[in-house]
A and B are shown apart, each in its own frame.
Chain A
Amino acid sequence: MREMEAEQTTRVNTDSLRYKFKLFIKNKLALVGLIVLAVVFVLVAFGPVLSPYDAFNTDFAVKLQSPSSSHLLGTDNYGRDVLSRIFSGARYTLLAAVVSVVIGLVLGAPLGVISGYFGGKVDLISMRGVDILLSFPPLILAMAIVSGLGPSLLNAAVAIGISYIPIFARVARSRAVQVKRMDYVQSAIALGSSRARIILTDVLPNSMTPLIVQATIYTGYGILWVAALSFIGLGAKLPTPEWGLMISEGRQYIITGEWWMTVFPGLFIMLGVIGFTLIGDGIREVINPRLRLK
């Protein structure tokens, strides 16, 4: 209602970034996502500084202590502070997730755009390749790739990135197919642009919006999958305070009652995934007005 009034009194430019940001903020869930994400990024940037203890410092005198005022989230089996490890570990998990999305985007998007723009045989061949990649469950594919490359956090990120290629290629292709029929593409051809130029200046930039949504959401999933690979020993190595690895270290203590070693890193993984997903949904809603009409 308020939105309608605003549109009547002053002509609201629905394309402007400020207007879009306002819409985004109006969406409560997106706002929650933004706050969560802000917290996560503060941890990535300043995690070790904010940590009350050194994340790597072992002290057997205080091992396996339950949450208390001196150790807010308890200590692990080496007496390391869980809160400090979560804070310091945020950057490993997050950066690996971001690297995987960047790899997926940088390799997948151009593939999809070229495939969608040219169509025909190019499209047929590259999309069947994408179908093959897509037919594996992403985590299984990532596991296979890491096993080949050797386990490390970077290799886990690369593996997840490769399993992301088909996802981004699909989205980019579907968008490119739409964009290439746009009048401005026709007009660019009529004014003498070459195909390469049209792909770079017309098709790719105008295909970015759904890719940005996808990238945000898959950064969230990336956190989950990085943690999952670390959990099964194909990602970060001990004693890195990577969240998935922390859960893995703590799992044998769940039955003996030291639940804080697994539950708290798990909660942070959940928080990260939810944060990115909410933001992704929020952006999608701003971009696609049809989802806004409730």
Chain B
Amino acid sequence: MTEALLEIRNLHTYFRTDEGLAKAVNGVDLVVPKGQTLGLVGESGCGKSVTALSIIRLIPDPPGRIVGGEIMFEGLDLLKLTEPEMRTVRGNTISMIFQEPMTALNPVYKIGSQMAEVIQLHQKVGKAGAMERALEMLNKVSIADPERRLNEYPHEISGGMRQRVLIAMALSSHPKLVIADEPTTALDVTIQAQILDLINVLKDEMGTSNLLITHDLGVIFEMAQWVAVMYAGKVVEYASVDDLFGRPLHPYTGGLMESIPHIDQAVSPDKMLKTIPGMVPSLFEVLEGCSFQDRCNHAFDRCRSEEPHLVDVNSGHLVRCWLHE
């Protein structure tokens, strides 16, 4: 495995709610290797986005709080930085691309001035220089007619273009890490492929590392070199893409893969698409043992009494399951 750019150790992010303490992220460990893409996958509510927001410390407090762990970025623990120090990291060395391109741009400013503002925030350039750089970035994300876009308002361009603008903004300061939180969920399918392709091309061109959050295993297969599977606030499996798709070890990962429809297999009434039975445990429940026990076909006594640890079973293939201890 190559050198780590970002390493999360035992991260805990909790939310205080009326129903009690919600342990959204409950001991996450993962590594984003330099120059590569780590896919973070899991179903809704498993803590993917909270993990991402914890990295750039955007957890709304109250009600949320990062209560423990370390987020090591180039030898620096991001959780120990002061707020002004953190501001020089955000958008500069770590950038984020959000899920909703339709609403992530300020509606009252033109694209050009919004981009220039972000550029001037992190680079010592004048207004004209910033505009030039904005144009250069729009070219890089292959937007049609970039000069015109600079003078347009966000409502005048399409969703796909807005996402390109947001990517251009996120990359304008040459960040080392780009966090993309379901960057294509809100876009239609043809545009999705284009945007994912663009993120990949820019990653290689600019030498960034990506943390790609998605619930789509297909996207992971296309985009990532490494995968972390999250379940109920924890990483349950971490492996290279080849290892994970070749030999999924955790029963949950196996279930996820079986629930993907295959184009070459007819879905007939007697041969239904497989799903994982049951529901994600509530974030408030204090479950003894493994959090997947109720939905797992292989669960045995130990799973109900003792929580498994994330162990390396095959040079870099980590899994949190008693079956593989």
Q: For the complex, is A188 an interface residue (Cβ under 8 Å from B)? A: yes
Within 8 A of B (CB), among A162-212: 182-184, 186-194, 201-202, 205-206
Check A187 against B98 for contact (C-beta < 8 Å): yes
CA distance A183 to B186 in the complex (A): 13
CA distance A206 to B153 in the complex (A): 14
Q: What is the chain B residue whose CB lies nearest that of A202?
A: B106
CA distance A148 to B100 in the complex (A): 54
Q: Which residues of A contact B153 (CB under 8 A)?
A: 15
Within 8 A of A (CB), among B48-96: 56, 58, 84, 87-92, 95-96
Q: What is the chain B residue whose CB lies nearest that of A182?
A: B103
CA distance A13 to B156 in the complex (A): 8
Query: Which of B95, B109, B121, B166 has a CB less than 8 Å from the CB of A193?
Result: B121
Check A206 against B107 for contact (C-beta < 8 Å): yes
CA distance A2 to B16 in the complex (A): 52
Check B88 against A183 for contact (C-beta < 8 Å): no
The number of residues on chain B lying at the interface, defined by a beta carbon within 8 Å of a beta carbon of chain A, is 30
CA distance A191 to B170 in the complex (A): 7
Residues of A near any B CB (own CB < 8 A) = 13, 15, 182-184, 186-194, 201-202, 205-206
Query: Could you list 28 examples of A-B contacts with CB < 8 Å?
Result: A15-B153, A15-B155, A15-B156, A183-B98, A184-B104, A184-B105, A184-B106, A186-B98, A186-B104, A187-B98, A187-B104, A187-B166, A189-B58, A189-B90, A190-B95, A191-B90, A191-B96, A191-B121, A192-B88, A192-B89, A192-B118, A193-B121, A194-B84, A194-B87, A201-B106, A202-B106, A205-B106, A205-B108
Residues of B near any A CB (own CB < 8 A) = 56, 58, 84, 87-92, 95-96, 98, 100, 103-109, 117-118, 121-122, 153, 155-156, 166, 169-170
Additional 12 contacts, C-beta under 8 A, given A183-B103, A187-B105: A15-B107, A184-B104, A184-B106, A188-B106, A190-B95, A190-B96, A191-B91, A192-B87, A192-B92, A192-B118, A192-B121, A205-B106
